[in-house]
């Protein structure tokens, strides 16, 4: 009697072979997906032409009195000994600080030291034959009479430079006013151009706003080396006016 054998299943690939097949299938799937994703919509079609677009700009400006004063006081010393020159500068600066800080008031009169330098003086043969140095004190703030009077009281230093500018608050106010003017002028100009070409209105496309502040520090060099001891008269100062300009530029689509 002959026994029937069950049908043999086809041999399954070994584990390494199965892993290789799976890796190949994944690579093929990713490659096909990459190809599909690389095709943008409308690929090969020309871009739509931009029509009825106008470039224009408008300027607004605001003017006000400069309200921030800066006075620089300084002195120079020289001599054969570096320590002696430095001690003289320190004494002059300490005296000026004591006088100025007694009048200080935050925001109205701020006091700070400036440059303090000491460097050698050379003879013709290249050797050091002495030392010279300078010290600086700066008074600044919005209380112009107080600052001018304090600078006049300081006797150990002399006035080197006076400059006026706009305070942050004044500059921000002028910029806001000038910007409002520029925006309104821009809108009026865009509407006029649209109507002139027979359109009902416009829509903004691009816009940029630039500020030109010419109210920065206006230095005025002064010489007061001959100021007599005990002369505590206020330093004569006179503020000028400053203008802040804002330019609005961009493009509009006429509709």
Compute the half-sphere exposure of residue 12: CA atoms within 13 Å on the CB side of its CA: 5
Helix extents (H) in 113-249: 144-153, 168-196
Helix extents (H) in the chain: 15-37, 82-101, 144-153, 168-196
pLDDT at site 150: 97
C-alpha distance from residue 144 to each of 117, 119, 165, 226, 239 (Å): 29, 35, 12, 23, 9
Instruction: Say if residues 220 and 31 touch (Cβ distance below 8 Å).
Output: no
Distance CA 165, CA 142 (A): 10
Average pLDDT of span 126-151:
96
Is the predicted pLDDT of residue 123 greater than 50, yes or no?
Answer: yes
Is the predicted pLDDT of residue 5 greater than 60, yes or no?
Answer: no
The residue ranking higher by pLDDT, 11 or 198, is: 198
Is the predicted pLDDT of residue 77 greater than 60, yes or no?
Answer: yes
Instruction: Say if residues 181 and 82 touch (Cβ distance below 8 Å).
Output: no
pTM of this prediction?
A: 0.70
Distance CA 215, CA 16 (A): 79
Q: pLDDT grade, residue 224 (50/70/90)?
A: very low
Question: Sign of the C-alpha dihedral, residues 67, 68, 72, 73?
Answer: positive
Q: pLDDT grade, residue 225 (50/70/90)?
A: very low
What phi and psi, each to the nearest 5 degrees, are found at residue 174? -65, -40
pLDDT at site 232: 73
Distance CA 134, CA 115 (A): 8
Is the predicted pLDDT of residue 231 greater than 70, yes or no?
Answer: no
Instruction: Say if residues 50 and 92 touch (Cβ distance below 8 Å).
Output: no
pLDDT at site 38: 41
Is the predicted pLDDT of residue 84 greater than 60, yes or no?
Answer: yes
Distance CA 191, CA 251 (A): 12
Question: Sign of the C-alpha dihedral, residues 182, 183, 188, 194?
Answer: positive
Q: Token pair for residue 70?
A: 């800066």
């Amino acid at each position: 009697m002959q026994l029937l054998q069950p049908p043999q299943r086809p041999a399954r690939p070994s584990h390494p072979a199965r892993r290789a097949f799976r890796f190949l299938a994944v690579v093929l799937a990713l490659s096909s997906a990459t190809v599909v994703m690389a095709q943008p919509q409308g690929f090969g079609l020309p871009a739509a032409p931009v029509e009825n677009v106008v470039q224009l700009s408008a300027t607004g400006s605001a003017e006000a009195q400069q309200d921030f004063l800066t006075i620089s006081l300084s002195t120079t010393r020289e001599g054969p000994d570096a320590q002696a020159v430095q001690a003289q500068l320190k004494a002059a600066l300490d005296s000026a600080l004591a006088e100025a800080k007694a009048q200080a008031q935050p925001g109205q009169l701020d006091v700070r030291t400036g440059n303090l330098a000491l460097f050698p003086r050379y003879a013709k043969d290249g050797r050091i034959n002495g030392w010279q140095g300078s010290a600086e004190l700066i008074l600044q703030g919005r209380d112009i009479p107080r600052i001018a009077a304090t600078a006049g009281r300081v006797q150990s230093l002399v006035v080197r430079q006076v400059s006026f500018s706009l305070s942050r608050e004044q500059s921000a106010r002028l910029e806001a006013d000038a910007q409002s003017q520029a925006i309104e002028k821009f809108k009026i100009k865009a509407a006029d151009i649209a109507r002139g070409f027979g359109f009902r209105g416009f829509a903004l496309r691009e816009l940029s706003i630039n500020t030109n502040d010419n109210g920065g520090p206006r230095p005025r060099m002064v010489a007061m080396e001959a100021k007599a001891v005990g002369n505590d008269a206020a330093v004569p100062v006179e503020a000028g006016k400053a203008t802040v300009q804002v330019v609005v530029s961009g493009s509009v689509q006429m509709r």
